[in-house]
Structure 1
Amino acid sequence: MPPKHTRPQLVWSEKYTRPHTAPRTLVEQRALSHQATDDRPDAPRENLLIQGDNLLALEALEPQYAARIKCVFIDPPYNTGQTFEHYDDDVAHARWLSMMRDRLVVLHRLLAEDGSIWITIDDHEAHYLKVLADEVFGRANFIGTVVWEKADSPRMDAQFLSSRHDFVLVYSKNREHASFNPLPVTELPKHYNRRDDNGRAYYLKPLRAMGGQGETRAARPNLYFSMTAPDGTEVYPKRQDGTDGAWRWSREKVARESARIEWTRSRGRGWSPNYRIYAKTNQTRPPESIWFHTDVGSNRTSKAEVKRVLPDAAPFGTPKPEALLQRILHIATDPGDLVLDSFAGSGTTGAVAHKMGRRWILVELGAHCLTHTHPRMVRVVDGEDPGGISAAVDWRGGGGFRFFHLAPSASRSEPTGS
């Protein structure tokens, strides 16, 4: 019997059918665990790569990792019609929603109070996933939606719209405890178009007050006084209509900040005093909601990265570029934090987390775990992955990971060696 709800909710045919999963044990396959021979002391070690159904694996992780994960990143199936064999939109849609709901519920329990989850999705299920995630994480904990430009060129054969983006839904476990790192400013805004004798960037702002009631002499009589231009001319603050205006600074501040004052001269208007606004050193900015492929890579970028590190492996469908994960992990985590990806695929999340000094847990069900995820992580640990963000973070190898599989068990347990 469906429970009674007073709030609007998403309803589908299998919503109230929950899987009955028997507790499972994580058993280490030490032959597949890997440690760097020439290790770095700062490289992450407490990492897990798990092969098996991700719902069972997540439940098996709960006793040890509940409320400990700082960042969850998942790239689940998009349910585009290719995910399910014998595709029926209504049936597959309901199955997909149930699959996502069951996993999000456990991921919510694994997240730390100050943690966040980042979920990639496209137009097929994005809006349903948003409502579903609202139910699991709470609408108040919705941080926002990132639009990632996944394609670096349009599709000329598109029937209606050439789709060039995916979404990344971002939720916090508890918004009151969440905190994100700002992004470094690598390029100054274009209006910082001048340099002083020491090479510091700045732009000019008129010293005359403009706009509002404070720009008139009548309103600010103490800010109406003369300033001496480079040719000895006495200059007063005048408004566009010729009436008396006011300066932004007092006489005392003009004297104190004289090194920042720069005069310009225009034909017909004479001299005008301006003041320099310098760019801050180590400047940062809050993350924006549109991420371009020129900054974080595209699908083409990611396929090339996987091909470079795994040249003999079959092409992987839709991996994500390392720069995209680097930005997410920079925003959501600090070195040493624990990152979880339960749809590990080609292992990009683990590769980037490892190179950035984060601890990680990856879960992958299929053969991809042995053909893509495991060999990629071995190469990362051994310093044999020169692509992706390796050069940017000066990655040369180190650390290691333990490999686990799911075994039938009558009781839950922490990861143990076989």
Structure 2
Amino acid sequence: MPRLLSELEDTLKQDDRLFADDKLLKNKAIERALDNDEKLLELLASNERLKEHFFTEAGEHLVFDEEKFAQFVSNKQFLPDSYTAFKNKVGLKQGNERLQEKEEIELAWPYKDCVLEGGQTKEDQNGRTEKFWNKTLAPDQVDTLLDPKVLSDFKRISKNGESELEELDNENLILKGNNLLGLHSLLKKYREEVDMIYIDPPYNTGNDDFSYNDNFNQSTWLTFMKNRLEAAKDLLKKEGAIFISIDQNEIGYLTTLMDEIFGEENRRNIVTIKRSAVSGPKVINPGLVNISEYLLIYSKSDKWEDNTVYTETDVDRRYNNFIKNKEDHYEDWEICTVLDALSEEKVVDKRNLKDKLGTKFEQELREFVIRNADKVIQFANLDEDSVSKDAAELKKKSNENPDEIYHLEREDGRDYYIKKGKVMLFYEDRLVNLGGELVPGRPASDIWTDVMPNDLHNEGGVKLTKGKKPEKLLHRILKMGSEEGDLVLDFFLGSGTTAAVAHKTGRQYMGIEQLDYGENSAVERLKNVISGDDDRGISDAVDWDSGGDFVYAELMQWNAEFIERIEDAESSEELQTVWSDMKGQAFLSYRINVEEFEENAEEFEDLELEKQKEFLKEILDNNQLYVNYSEIEDLDYEIDEETIELNKQFYNGE
């Protein structure tokens, strides 16, 4: 056996397609074997020992036993250190590796769910690499995997607390479960119905202060994102758009991936966001101090139109004139400088105004201008070639009578007030409502420096800080990409900032989260919003009080429940109990022979606890992690009538 293992390894090394970073990609070798890849079969048949082991003679022909080959390569004795090595095609290249373009979906089961590890402690991460149990599902199995799942544990949460759900309409919805499968479940009901998507996915940084494990293998991270983004695109309306927060580690890869999925022509903006000051431990590191992250904005088509959002500016000093008696008829208006008017209000000689106010001068001037914005003006030139004939004639007349003020009513804009051939521009037209206050503003650029976290740890009544976005940022993003009543989706819901801001601003929302944050969950945060206990974030800016509701549901687990029980087990005895239940209830892989396993139970018990867990997870059928909606009335699942009825309402509108 050892010699055969060695010969197989040496033979496969002759096929460059099966290696990346000098490591054999076991799953790729298996995949090509199952496809009866001509080059691979010729290579195997060229070695007499391998030909004898994997081929059967049939007359003048050789018949390749692809199942035997797959089982052999999958054996832990064959290159055990490459057990997790697998890179899936996403239409990109990394080094010399061409990522696979086959229609495949990859699920990984490192811990709580089948895509990423969640809920790990810092101690778990020390000195270890993220583990992935990769299961490549052939195209004929994808439909089963991505079938809509049964939703369970329904409840409505309102100001009155939790209550049983009797019927479903177009509700605010929070789903607990794998977000890839959650997205495909939503597709049955919400295909091309979502107005806007915002996500803040794992950044692949190794940051262990947030419950997502960011420490992905690069190509696995790309596969992870690709599968979800393709489903997300199908949920968007043609007039919809997706916004993605990302940092410098993945912006290049993600932009390329988004160009492939949504089209480079639909890349609308890449916004740079200042997320912190140049201070703290990060200034110790050599090189430039990283204080930025990015927001990728892609539309589904050219039909998307964004809303203009504004950022606060300094007072425009060109608005330096003041109408002292604005309440009088325009012909009697008296005009002075803004400084004259401020001096008069403060009862200070204008020449001494700066000295008198000292360091408060700029702030006092700003507050005066904003408070009197309807009286603060500047005089601007009128381009005779771009104004109406009446305006041009009035300009000429005012030049002939420079002491007079002339008025021209306009149907398509502010009326003209003209003096000395120039039109008066009023500063009140430059004010915008930001954070519940009227302030000087201008359209936001693609560099945002005014949405840094402030008192972030207290927002929403949840304590997550790293990975939690400030409500001020989400408020701007939602204003840019949606209107009141629009449907917003976040399938990396985390601590629930997107849902909280959507709730406070009158958007309908859906969120998917697969990790359990306990008292820091999106559900707890939304409870605080609805009850009125959440008075931070944008609450004052949007005059939020309380009210509303949402529906909570979970993707109904089956084999996934056993995954959790296996991970939670602390002894071999507990695993034995899990195995006893698995035999009678779980869907097991066709590869496992239960009788043989029972006969060799002592060998299993001699394995380390982690190896026992690894084995039990491997023998579960990964196509049966959750219950498919198509099997909702299967008696084996014992689903109650109320849950069946609510699922029918959700998926079929019955």
TM above 0.5: yes
SS at match of 1:113: strand
2:259 pairs with 1:134: yes
CA deviation profile, 1:185-227 (whole Å, cap 9, x unmatched): 7666343233223343322346899xxxx9xxxxxxxxxxxxx
Q: Hey, what does 2:378 align to over in structure 1? A: 203
Q: CA deviation at 1:279?
A: 3.7
1:281 to 429, 454, 461: 429
Q: Distance in 1 between matches of 2:189 and 2:204?
A: 32
CA deviation profile, 1:335-356 (whole Å, cap 9, x unmatched): 1100000011110000000000
Q: Distance in 1 between matches of 2:470 and 2:207?
A: 22
Q: Hey, what does 1:191 align to over in structure 2? A: 318
Q: CA deviation at 1:255?
A: 5.8
2:25 pairs with 1:25: no
TM-score (norm 2): 0.49
Taking the TM superposition and a 5 Å limit, the aligned residue runs for 1:82-161 are 82=207, 92-154=217-279, 155-161=282-288
Q: Hey, what does 1:251 align to over in structure 2? A: 396
2:441 pairs with 1:290: no
Change (3 A) 1:161 1:55: same
Q: Hey, what does 2:307 align to over in structure 1? A: 181
1:409 to 613, 617, 627: 627
Q: Letter of the aligned partner of 2:251 in structure 1?
A: A
CA deviation profile, 1:83-136 (whole Å, cap 9, x unmatched): 78795xxx7110001111111100000011111100000000101100100000
Q: Hey, what does 1:305 align to over in structure 2? A: 459
Q: Letter of the aligned partner of 1:98 in structure 2?
A: T
Q: CA deviation at 1:184?
A: 5.3
Q: Hey, what does 1:36 align to over in structure 2? A: 159
Q: Distance in 1 between matches of 2:522 and 2:644?
A: 20
Indicate if the aligned counterparts of 2:471 and 2:501 stay in contact, CA closer than 8 A.
yes
Q: CA deviation at 1:152?
A: 3.3
TM-score (norm 1): 0.74
Indicate if the aligned counterparts of 1:51 and 1:369 stay in contact, CA closer than 8 A.
no
Q: Letter of the aligned partner of 2:447 in structure 1?
A: I
Change (3 A) 1:208 1:82: closer
1:46 to 167, 171, 193: 171
The structure with the largest strand share of the pair is 1
Taking the TM superposition and a 5 Å limit, the aligned residue runs for 1:367-406 are 367-368=516-517, 371-406=520-555
2:92 pairs with 1:10: yes
Q: Distance in 2 between matches of 1:180 and 1:416?
A: 39
Q: Distance in 2 between matches of 1:392 and 1:319?
A: 20
SS at match of 1:417: helix
Q: Distance in 1 between matches of 2:532 and 2:471?
A: 16
Q: Distance in 2 between matches of 1:415 and 1:67?
A: 25
Q: CA deviation at 1:327?
A: 0.4
Indicate if the aligned counterparts of 2:395 and 2:418 stay in contact, CA closer than 8 A.
no
SS at match of 1:281: helix
Indicate if the aligned counterparts of 1:185 and 1:282 stay in contact, CA closer than 8 A.
no
Change (3 A) 1:255 1:46: farther
Q: Letter of the aligned partner of 2:182 in structure 1?
A: A
Q: Distance in 2 between matches of 1:99 and 1:167?
A: 20
Q: CA deviation at 1:274?
A: 5.5
How many residues of Structure 1 are paired with residues of Structure 2 in the alignment? 350
Q: Distance in 1 between matches of 2:234 and 2:226?
A: 13
SS at match of 2:459: helix
Identical positions, percent: 29
Q: Distance in 2 between matches of 1:130 and 1:398?
A: 39
SS at match of 1:30: strand
Name which structure has the greater RCO, CA cutoff 8 Å, separation 6+: 1
Q: Hey, what does 1:334 align to over in structure 2? A: 483
Q: Hey, what does 1:317 align to over in structure 2? A: 466
Deviation beyond 4 Å, 4+ runs, structure 1: 12-15, 83-87, 184-188, 206-209, 247-250, 255-258, 260-263, 282-285, 412-416
Taking the TM superposition and a 5 Å limit, the aligned residue runs for 1:163-178 are 163-175=290-302, 177-178=303-304
Q: Hey, what does 1:57 align to over in structure 2? A: 182
Instruction: Provide the aligned C-alpha RMSD in A.
Output: 3.5
Indicate if the aligned counterparts of 1:27 and 1:416 stay in contact, CA closer than 8 A.
no
**Structure index of larger Rg:** 2
Q: CA deviation at 1:275?
A: 4.7
SS at match of 1:133: helix
